[in-house]
Amino acid sequence: MTIATGNYKLRVNDLRKTFGSLVALEGASIDVKEGEFLTLLGPSGSGKTTLLLAIAGLNDPDSGAIWIDGRLTTYLPPFKRDIGMVFQNYALFPHMTVFDNIAFPLRMRRGAEREIKDSVNRVLDIIQLPDIAQRYPRQLSGGQQQRVALARALVYEPSIVLMDEPLGALDKKLRDQLQLEIKQLHAKLNIAVLYVTHDQEEALVMSDRICLMRDGRIEQLGTPDELYFSPRTVFAADFLGESNLLSGRVTARDANEAAVRLDDGTELRGVIQEGIVEGERVRVMVRPESIALLNGGEAPENVVEADLENAIMTGGTIKCFFRTGSGLQLSARTLTGGPLAARKVASGKQRPGKQRLGWSRERTVVLKDA
Amino acid sequence: MRELRAAAPADTLKEAGSVEPSESGGGDSALRASGRRALAAWPLLPAFIFLGIAFVYPVALLLGTSFVDSSGELSTVHYTRLYDSRVVSRVLTITFEIAAWTTVFSVIAAYPVAYLLSTVRGSTRNTLIIWVLMPFWTSFLVRTFAWMVLLGRNGAVNQFLDILGIVDPPTFIYNFSGVMIGMVHALMPLCVLTMLSVMESIDHNLSRAASTLGARPGQAFWRVYFPLSVPGVAAGALLVFITALGFFITPALLGSERETVIVQLIIFQIKDMLNWGFAGAIAVFLLIVALIIFFIYDRLVGLSTLSGGSARAETNAKSNFIGWVGRRLGGLFIEVMARGSDLIGQGMERAFPQRPDKPRRKGGRAAIWATALLVIVFLAVPAFFIIPVSFTEAQFLSWPPRGFSLQWYESVLSNPVWVEAGLRSLLIAISAGGLGMLFGVPAAFYIARKARFKTAMIGFLVSPIIMPNIIIAVSLFYLYARLGLVGTDLGLVIGHTVLAVPYVVVTMIAVLKHYDERLDHAAYTLGANKARTFVHVTFPLMRAGMVAAFMFAFIISFDELTIALFVTGGQVTTLPKKMWDDALLQVSPTLAAVAAMVLVFMTIVILVSELVRRRGVQVQ
């Protein structure tokens, strides 16, 4: 049974999975195109791993359908799916050498030993570990094991590679490095990847698209830019990055723009989705780094005057906490190399004082109050 | 040891940053450091000194005696006789046959049980484990009596078959099959536990990974899961085989003349022929056989697997020929099994094609559950048959029991011999358990936390229970005969403590593995000294484990027959010995009543310790 799936490597349609009375997954539909990197992002218990395991064939969904490379595979066993999977703890076979580990999927597919040898050596070159073929997994570092697990999932060129928090066990520095390596590998080999993580930064760094999940449902699916700058829900705004979420009421709106009066009386303008009516309670999202510390000339749509209460140097940026006369609290982020005021406050040389803050209408998102 | 050395470079790198200051000094301070280290090993001393006197020395003495002839001259006469005797060679053959088949059946039946236990959730697991251990806890003798009730000519099984219309059922008892049923029943739990500890440490993601990589269940099992479980299988097989070599209760009561085993021969030589030298030679021969088996095992999989270590790494033909051959044969076996099961899998798929739009039937899991439950019923149920027959009005054991009467209980409780035997067993078991704790607990703490050469130390402390009991029994008998300790309670307590120490050590090390030592460190930083830390933090958290260790030692001693058989010298008697003596004459309803009481008593002891353990777990 084949349907027209274009160049989709994976299509998931309306998947549902329950464990007893717990609904782990509900109405999940995603697709991954050839060469695309899609990340399932969400807190633990949001259903992202349940979805991944259903796609891998490691748990059966209650209803819905899964196509891999145009072939219906909803209830096929994992070994008939043509997938590659990288597990969180790597799941390298401890009693086999690196070579035998990587050769395993090829042998299961009854390849000729000579071709297997060539393929394994080629993939070892790709992961830049050509000399470790005869070692055992326990003799490798965490980063090396991770690369071998990756090689094992790639060597037979499966339709799609599934990765279940593959970098979860590594320390920050190595994680950052491997994120880039996986990204490069993905670009070089043009493979479809479905990646699971709970780390929003990782998702932003690596993905072509992100599927944000919450309580077994898909909250929002889009490019990192869309999710970051145009979240559709308060949850999405809150989960990805930092945000100021200000409560207020819509006073006027047209097609995609609205005026909002915050609870303290401040008037703001921002972009608004359909389905929110005048007078409705909303939350206005502004990213801290969208807020500029104004010096004079500029005139963005939204301007407030506030006292700088505190500032913390966090490395590349300074995080500033402001409070307006009406009691509105705002946090802003500015580059450490930027405005002097904040830097001085951070180092304790200057007392907090009045500051004009401004940000554009495009960077102000009006969201339905959850 | 070999794989330890292989892994050394990685370990040195890891630990290079954390060299203790005391060890980085010059020669003088290094000397002082080693002296300090020796002093710090004091917790090992009680256990080592005790086992040295009460175990190593007597065994060495036995070894010596076997080389002395009846006139006191040094000679190998006993060994020549051993070599020449046709009786001995026949008995040896049947002993090995019984041990080998027991091992094969135990391993095959234990594997699915251990696999199931390693995959089910905690509470289900604990419940199932209690049932698996049922025969392990209930006295060897009680179990054997139960099989006699079940398998006898008019036993429950034959009557059941009669109802089914099978008129002329095969005889299950007083022949090889009776011995097999009894032995497998007795020793399989040991196998389950050993395999379980290995299977628990196998990451179940590995099988899943194999299946995402394209392996059918059969391939995934034989190429990934099975090789990783081999250390458990091997360790379980080894323990069963060695224990089976020293078994005599089951063959004596459930077998015929033909199933006379080597231990019976030793008993016969000492009790009836008074030929100690020859008996010693047979015991030494048994010991040597055990050592050879251990040696081969070490070459094949590595002795460290017995204490939960990893199996031998790749070996070459020159340095370890046995290991190399074993590895090749094992590889061949796995290849054949993997390919065979894959062919079957392919056939099944062709016969019943898997539909992508319908959920698969999960037949495999149900089959494992069914098999495992069947085995567990086999393990747990038989002992309970002893209870109804103990209330019979008939003068002989028969099934079904006739009427209802308490006469057999009255006759037991009014017989001072039985009562005295029971009290003595209780007293000795409590003493042996207590002494075992006294020697074993400090040693276990030291080994779990500080010791180098862990495997060797555990190996020594555990050696009394991994060699046939009869060797200890005969050795102690020799020693006691010289010291006049035969027939004394002290002698019995010492003998049973030799067995109690290993059980305490093994249990405590297992418990300590799960103890988070940082809790002690936290107590130190909060101002508690070592003693107060132990009293207020370590001990309360370890209490459940200690109770379990004591119970283990208690039960082993309470049920022990071999040592009692020799050391009592016919002057005093313990409960198992009295049961054994009576059983040799006839298994009467009186014995059933005793067995039922022992069964109930043991069950209460186990339930209480399990309760204590669970409460301990809750606290944590």
pLDDT tens figures, B482-496: 898 888 999 999 999
Domain ranges of chain B: 67-216+228-311, 386-620
B96-125 burial string, b = 16+ CB within 10 Å, else e?
Answer: bebbebbbebbbebbbbbbbbbbeeeeeeb
Report whether B143 contacts B182 (CB < 8 A): yes
**Residue A73 is nearest to which of B213, B356, B359, comparing CB atoms?**
B356
Q: What is the dihedral of CA B586, B588, B593, B598, to 10 degrees?
A: 20
Put the strands of the sheet holding A217-222 in their side by side order. A83-86, A160-164, A192-197, A37-41, A209-214, A217-222
Exposure on the CB side of residue A48, measured as CA atoms within 13 A: 27
Burial class (CB in 10 A: 0-12, 13-18, 19+), B209: buried
pLDDT in the model for residue B20: 39
Residue of A nearest to B228 (CA): A95
Whole-angstrom distance, CA of residue B139 vs CA of residue B394: 25
- pLDDT confidence of B8, banded at 50, 70, 90? very low
Whole-angstrom distance, CA of residue B103 vs CA of residue B98: 8
Residues of B in contact with A56 (CB under 8 A): 208, 212
Whole-angstrom distance, CA of residue A246 vs CA of residue A306: 15
A76 in reach of chain B (CB within 8 A): yes
What is the distance, to the nearest Å, from the Cα of residue B395 to the centroid of all Cα atoms in its chain? 36
> Which positions 184-223 of B are in contact with A (Cβ < 8 Å)?
203, 205-206, 208-217, 219, 223
Phi-psi map region of A66: left, alpha, beta (phi>0 left; psi -120 to 50 alpha) = beta
Predicted confidence pLDDT, tens digits, chain A (370 residues):
444 446 789 999 999 999 989 999 999 999 999 999 999 999 988 999 999 999 999 989 999 999 999 999 999 999 999 999 999 889 999 989 999 999 999 999 888 999 999 999 999 998 889 889 999 999 999 899 999 999 999 999 999 999 999 998 888 888 999 999 999 989 888 899 999 999 999 999 999 999 999 999 999 999 999 999 999 999 999 999 899 999 999 999 888 899 999 998 889 999 998 888 888 999 999 999 999 888 777 788 899 888 888 888 888 888 889 998 888 899 998 888 766 656 666 666 555 567 889 999 999 999 998 7
Report whether B429 contacts B558 (CB < 8 A): yes
Burial class (CB in 10 A: 0-12, 13-18, 19+), B528: middle
* C-alpha radius of gyration, chain B, whole number: 26
**Is the pLDDT assigned to residue B230 strictly greater than 80?**
yes
Task: Tell me the pairing of strands A292-294 and A22-33.
Answer: unpaired
**Residue B354 is nearest to which of A58, A77, A139, comparing CB atoms?**
A77
**Is the pLDDT assigned to residue B478 strictly greater than 90?**
no
Report whether B519 contacts B541 (CB < 8 A): yes
Residues of B in contact with A49 (CB under 8 A): none
Whole-angstrom distance, CA of residue B487 vs CA of residue B495: 12
Sign, CA dihedral B572-B574-B578-B584, equals negative
Residues of B in contact with A153 (CB under 8 A): 213
Task: For residue A150, give the nearest of A162, A159, A132, A134 by alpha carbon.
Answer: A162
CB contact under 8 A, A58 and B216: no
CB contact under 8 A, A93 and B224: yes
- pLDDT confidence of B132, banded at 50, 70, 90? confident
Report whether B172 contacts B254 (CB < 8 A): no
- pLDDT confidence of B308, banded at 50, 70, 90? low
- The letter for the amino acid at B62 is L
Task: Answer whether B67-216+228-311 and B386-620 agree in fold.
Answer: yes
B354 in reach of chain A (CB within 8 A): yes
Report whether B322 contacts B330 (CB < 8 A): no
Cα separations in angstroms, B213 against A57, A368, B285: 12, 45, 51
- pLDDT confidence of B28, banded at 50, 70, 90? low
Residues of B in contact with A139 (CB under 8 A): 10
How far B103 CA lies from chain A's nearest CA (Å)?
25
Whole-angstrom distance, CA of residue B100 vs CA of residue A231: 70
Report whether B478 contacts B413 (CB < 8 A): no
B289-327 burial string, b = 16+ CB within 10 Å, else e?
Answer: bbeeebeebbbbbbbbbbbbbbbbeebeeeebeebbebb
- pLDDT confidence of B23, banded at 50, 70, 90? very low
User: Coil, strand or helix: which one is A5?
Assistant: coil
A89 in reach of chain B (CB within 8 A): yes
Q: Which of A282-296, B14-28, B101-115, B275-289 has the lowest mean pLDDT?
A: B14-28
A184 contacts: CB under 8 Å, gap ≥ 6: none
Q: Where are the alpha helices (DSSP H) in B414-567?
A: 416-449, 454-466, 469-483, 489-513, 518-525, 530-533, 539-559, 562-567
Task: Tell me the pairing of strands A160-164 and A192-197.
Answer: parallel
Phi, psi (degrees; rounded to nearest 5) at B550: -65, -45
The ipTM, to two decimals, is 0.84
A300 in reach of chain B (CB within 8 A): no
B471 contacts: CB under 8 Å, gap ≥ 6: B59, B62, B246, B283, B286, B287
Residues of B in contact with A110 (CB under 8 A): none
Put the strands of the sheet holding A354-359 in their side by side order. A292-294, A354-359, A302-313, A317-324, A329-335
Q: pLDDT digits over B537-549, tens only?
A: 888 888 888 888 8
pTM of the predicted model, to two decimals?
A: 0.82
A141 in reach of chain B (CB within 8 A): no
pLDDT in the model for residue B35: 67
**Residue A79 is nearest to which of B215, B223, B360, comparing CB atoms?**
B215
Task: For residue B174, give the nearest of B247, B257, B99 by alpha carbon.
Answer: B257
CATH of domain B386-620: 1.10.3720.10
How far A146 CA lies from chain B's nearest CA (Å)?
14
Put the strands of the sheet holding A8-19 in their side by side order. A22-33, A8-19, A63-68, A71-72
Whole-angstrom distance, CA of residue B620 vs CA of residue B618: 5
A170 contacts: CB under 8 Å, gap ≥ 6: A142, A143, A146, A178
Mutate to test the interface with A, among B212, B233, B339, B349 (most CBs of A within 10 A): B212
Report whether B494 contacts B476 (CB < 8 A): yes
Whole-angstrom distance, CA of residue B99 vs CA of residue A30: 60
Start-to-end CA distance of chain B, whole Å, equals: 35
B355 in reach of chain A (CB within 8 A): yes
How many CB pairs lie under 8 A apart between chains A and B?
86
Average pLDDT over residues B112-120: 92
Q: pLDDT digits over B249-276, tens only?
A: 889 889 888 889 989 998 888 888 888 7
B514-524 burial string, b = 16+ CB within 10 Å, else e?
Answer: ebeeeebeebe
- The letter for the amino acid at A314 is T
CB contact under 8 A, A79 and B203: no
A136 in reach of chain B (CB within 8 A): yes
Cis preceding linkage at B356, omega within 30? no
pLDDT in the model for residue A341: 59
Residues of B in contact with A152 (CB under 8 A): 213
Instruction: State the DSSP code for A191.
Output: -
CATH of domain B67-216+228-311: 1.10.3720.10
Start-to-end CA distance of chain A, whole Å, equals: 42
What is the distance, to the nearest Å, from the Cα of residue B312 to the centroid of all Cα atoms in its chain? 23
Q: Which two tokens stand for residue B513?
A: 């593995």
Mutate to test the interface with B, among A11, A75, A150, A156 (most CBs of B within 10 A): A75
Long-range interactions of B295-303: CB distance < 8 A, separation 24+: B296/B322, B297/B234, B297/B238, B299/B323, B299/B326, B300/B234, B300/B326, B301/B230, B301/B231, B301/B234, B301/B235, B301/B326, B302/B2, B302/B3, B302/B231, B303/B455, B303/B459
